[in-house]
A and B are shown apart, each in its own frame.
Chain A
Amino acid sequence: MILTRLATLTNGWNPALRIGLLVIGLVLAFGLPWVMYPPVALDIAAWALFAVALDLLLGYTGMLSFGHAAFWGSSAYATGIVAIETGLPFPVAVLGGALVAAALALPIAMLSVRRSGIYFAMVTLAFAQLVFFIANQWRSVTGGENGLQGIPREFFGLDLSDSFYFYYAALPLILLGLLGAWRVVHSPFGRVMVAIRENQARARALGYPVDRYKVQVFVLSAFLAGLAGGVYAIGHGFASLQEVYWTTSGKVVVMNILGGMGTLWGPVLGAGIIVLLEDYLATAGIDAVGLVTGLIFVVTVLLFRRGIWGTVRHLVRSRRRPDERAAAQEGEPESRPAPARQG
Chain B
Amino acid sequence: MLRTSGLSKEFSGFRAVSDVDLSVADGAVHALVGPNGAGKTTLFNLLTGFIKPTSGTITIEGRDVTGMRPEQIAQRGVARSFQIASLFEELTLAEHVELALQGRDGTGYRFWRSDKRLRRYAAETDGLLDQVGLGGMSGVPAGSLAYGQKRALELALALALSPRLLLLDEPTAGMGVEDVARTIELIKRVRADRTIVLVEHNMQVVSDLADTVTVLQFGKVLAEGDYQSVRNDPDVITAYLGEAVA
Asked if B118 and A204 sit within 8 Å, CB to CB, the answer is no
Asked if A189 and B111 sit within 8 Å, CB to CB, the answer is yes
Contacts between chains A and B (CB distance < 8 A), count: 121
Among the listed B92, B115, B140, B157, which residue makes an inter-chain contact with A188, where contact means beta carbons less than 8 Å apart? B115
Give, as a whole number of angstroms, the nearest-CB distance from B109 to chain A.
6
Asked if A186 and B115 sit within 8 Å, CB to CB, the answer is yes
C-alpha spacing A195/B103, complex, angstroms: 11
Asked if A198 and B91 sit within 8 Å, CB to CB, the answer is yes
C-alpha spacing A207/B99, complex, angstroms: 10
Which one of A184, A205, A342 has the greatest number of beta carbons of chain B within 10 Å? A205
Asked if B74 and A183 sit within 8 Å, CB to CB, the answer is no
A195-B91 CB under 8 A given contacts A201-B86, A207-B71: yes
Give, as a whole number of angstroms, the nearest-CB distance from A18 to chain B.
15
Asked if B95 and A339 sit within 8 Å, CB to CB, the answer is yes
A337-B139 CB under 8 A given contacts A202-B86, A206-B99: yes
Asked if B91 and A184 sit within 8 Å, CB to CB, the answer is no
Q: B110 to chain A: which residues have CB within 8 Å?
A: 187-189
Asked if B140 and A191 sit within 8 Å, CB to CB, the answer is no
Q: Does A174 contact B (CB under 8 A)?
A: no
Q: B114 to chain A: which residues have CB within 8 Å?
A: 183, 186-187
Interface residues as binary, B102-114 with A (CB distance below 8 Å gives 1, 0 otherwise): 1110111111111
Interface residues as binary, A28-57 with B (CB distance below 8 Å gives 1, 0 otherwise): 000000000000000000000000000000
C-alpha spacing A134/B204, complex, angstroms: 68
Q: Does B5 contact A (CB under 8 A)?
A: no
C-alpha spacing A220/B48, complex, angstroms: 30
A206-B138 CB under 8 A given contacts A187-B110, A191-B99: no
Give, as a whole number of angstroms, the nearest-CB distance from A205 to chain B.
6
Q: Does B94 contact A (CB under 8 A)?
A: yes
Q: B117 to chain A: which residues have CB within 8 Å?
A: 188
C-alpha spacing A195/B96, complex, angstroms: 9
Chain A residue at minimal CB-CB distance from B109 = A189
C-alpha spacing A340/B141, complex, angstroms: 7
Q: A191 to chain B: which residues have CB within 8 Å?
A: 91, 95, 98-99, 102, 108, 115, 118
Asked if A207 and B118 sit within 8 Å, CB to CB, the answer is no
Asked if A194 and B88 sit within 8 Å, CB to CB, the answer is yes
Among the listed A190, A205, A333, A339, which residue makes an inter-chain contact with B92, where contact means beta carbons less than 8 Å apart? A339
Q: Which of A189-245 contact B (CB under 8 A)?
A: 189-192, 194-195, 198-199, 201-210, 213, 216, 220
Interface residues as binary, A325-343 with B (CB distance below 8 Å gives 1, 0 otherwise): 0000000011111111110
C-alpha spacing A333/B102, complex, angstroms: 26
C-alpha spacing A70/B143, complex, angstroms: 37
A202-B111 CB under 8 A given contacts A195-B99, A340-B141: no
Q: Does B89 contact A (CB under 8 A)?
A: yes
Asked if A198 and B69 sit within 8 Å, CB to CB, the answer is no
A204-B74 CB under 8 A given contacts A198-B89, A339-B139, A342-B90: yes
Chain A residue at minimal CB-CB distance from B158 = A205
C-alpha spacing A339/B141, complex, angstroms: 8
Q: A199 to chain B: which residues have CB within 8 Å?
A: 86-89
Asked if A202 and B87 sit within 8 Å, CB to CB, the answer is yes
Asked if A213 and B115 sit within 8 Å, CB to CB, the answer is no
Asked if A205 and B138 sit within 8 Å, CB to CB, the answer is no
Asked if B99 and A192 sit within 8 Å, CB to CB, the answer is yes
A183-B109 CB under 8 A given contacts A199-B88, A207-B74, A340-B141: no
Chain B residue at minimal CB-CB distance from A262 = B90
Q: Does B133 contact A (CB under 8 A)?
A: no
Q: B88 to chain A: which residues have CB within 8 Å?
A: 194-195, 198-199, 202
A189-B139 CB under 8 A given contacts A194-B88, A206-B99: no
C-alpha spacing A210/B69, complex, angstroms: 10
Among the listed B82, B111, B138, B157, which residue makes an inter-chain contact with A216, where contact means beta carbons less than 8 Å apart? B111
Q: Does B29 contact A (CB under 8 A)?
A: no
Chain B residue at minimal CB-CB distance from A184 = B111
C-alpha spacing A192/B82, complex, angstroms: 19
Query: Can you report 20 residue pairs joining A to B where beta carbons are below 8 Å apart?
Result: A184-B111, A187-B112, A187-B113, A187-B114, A188-B109, A188-B113, A190-B111, A190-B115, A195-B88, A198-B87, A199-B87, A204-B74, A205-B48, A206-B74, A206-B161, A207-B75, A207-B161, A335-B139, A338-B139, A340-B141
